[in-house]
Amino acid sequence: MNLMRRALLGTLWAMLGWRPASARESGADSGEETMQAEASSVTPRHVLCFLGKDRDLSRLSDAASQAIRDFASGFSIDEEYSQAEPDDRMSRSFDVCWDRVEPDAWDQADEKAVADHQSVLYVLGPSMAQAESVTVSMLALRLVERLIGAGAVAVKGESAGIAHGLDRWRELIRQGAEAQKSADRLAEQRIGRLAFAKRPLSARGYLESVGFHLVGLPDVYVPDTEGSERQIVAIMDAVADEIAERGLEPTLKARRASLSFNSTYEVEEFKFNPYGIVRLGG
């Protein structure tokens, strides 16, 4: 399936609250094994959406092309789906994707910028091996910085369906630059996760994260009985940090958790995590 078609369908499915009917049910051992085998061939990638304030795409596309030449090797502009006209789906799409965990992650000015946009630029990232995912995600954050500087009025990560307001993007960019300057790999991974992953979403008795694969981590599912949404998000983030610092197996053991490949997303969807799902509570 065409890369951008997959990303756009993923956004539409999120807007409708739809899950693929063929998603494998929990407890189907043969399905689990098949999913794990299929997962081994999947490599994640970023799909970034930038909105412009006028119908001339050249300013954003030129800035993206220059960034690709300067530092973002492997990224590319999607010529088929980028358009020098507004997309009437964007207000609804951003409304679904806004980060609702970080306080003041967007404001009315950001919403108005989305509503008033006049052009759309899509940039595709390279397929990422697990070991290079943090590095590539830091490049994606630098690309966001470059295009905001060139006049992008709104930015959304399509691979996990996450959007932040411009001030929040700038803060994440600042934190990412500090982590890179100090060569703090764990901080880079954490910031990449906060920038490009979405949490929490509902998934059959669990709250789930989506997009941790963009920094080389499994996603985390927490039973929805474990507390409020904010409490569960704190658990998700703590588990992700523990995996990054201690490793997967020690974290599974300490948390009495299991690793599953029984995803609610199909292998061909950008939200599918090839590194699996850490399920807490059994």
In this structure, the answer to whether residues 185 and 221 fall within a common structural domain is no
Decide which of 193, 218, 235 is a domain's last residue.
193
pLDDT of 14 strictly over 60: no
What's the pLDDT score for residue 32? 64
Do 58 and 175 fall into the same domain?
Answer: yes
Res 37: pLDDT = 61
- Considering the domain architecture, whether residues 107 and 147 belong to the same structural domain is answered as yes
- Do 64 and 141 fall within a single domain? yes
Domain end position, chosen among 193, 212, 241:
193
If asked whether residues 257 and 125 sit together in one domain, one would say no
* 156 within some domain: yes
Whether residue 212 is contained in a domain is answered as yes
Together in a domain, 116 and 184: yes
Q: Is residue 24 part of a domain?
A: no
Let me know if residue 240 belongs to a domain. yes
Residues 117 and 67 both lie in one domain: yes
| Domain span including residue 146 | 45-193
Residue where one domain finishes, among candidates 164, 193, 222:
193
Q: What is the mean pLDDT of the chain?
A: 89
pLDDT grade for 218, boundaries at 50, 70 and 90:
very high
Tell me what the mean pLDDT of segment 179-193 comes to.
98
Mean pLDDT over residues 53-79, rounded?
97
**In total, how many domains does the chain have?**
2
Q: Are residues 128 and 263 in the same domain?
A: no
Same domain, 169 and 50: yes
Residue 160, domain member (yes or no): yes
The confidence score (pLDDT) of residue 17 equals 37
pLDDT at 18 over 50: no
Q: Which of 21-30, 48-57, 135-144, 271-280 has the lowest mean pLDDT?
A: 21-30
Does some domain include residue 2? no
- pLDDT at residue 186 in the model: 97
pLDDT for 51 equals 98
Task: Answer whether 0.85 is exceeded by the pTM.
Answer: yes
Q: Which residue has the higher pLDDT, 30 or 49?
A: 49
One domain, residues 143 and 253: no
Q: What is the pLDDT of residues 21-33, one digit of tens each?
A: 233 333 445 556 6
SS (H, E, C) the chain: CCHHHHHHHHHHHHHHCCCCCCCCCCCCHHHHHHHHHHHCCCCCCCEEEEEECCCCCHHHHHHHHHHHHHCCCCCEECCCCCECCCCCCHHHHHHHHECCCCCCCCCHHHHHHHHCCCEEEEEECCCCCHHHHHHHHHHHHHHHHHHHHCCCCEEEECCCCEEECHHHHHHHHHHHHHHHHCCCHHHHHHHHHHHHCEEEEEECCEEEEECHHHHCCCEEEEECCCCCHHHHHHHHHHHHHHHHHHCHHHHHHHHCCEEECCCCCCCCCCCCCCCCEEECCC
Give the pLDDT band of residue 194 (cuts 50, 70, 90): very high
Residues 224 and 134 in one domain: no
Question: Residue 175: what pLDDT?
Answer: 98
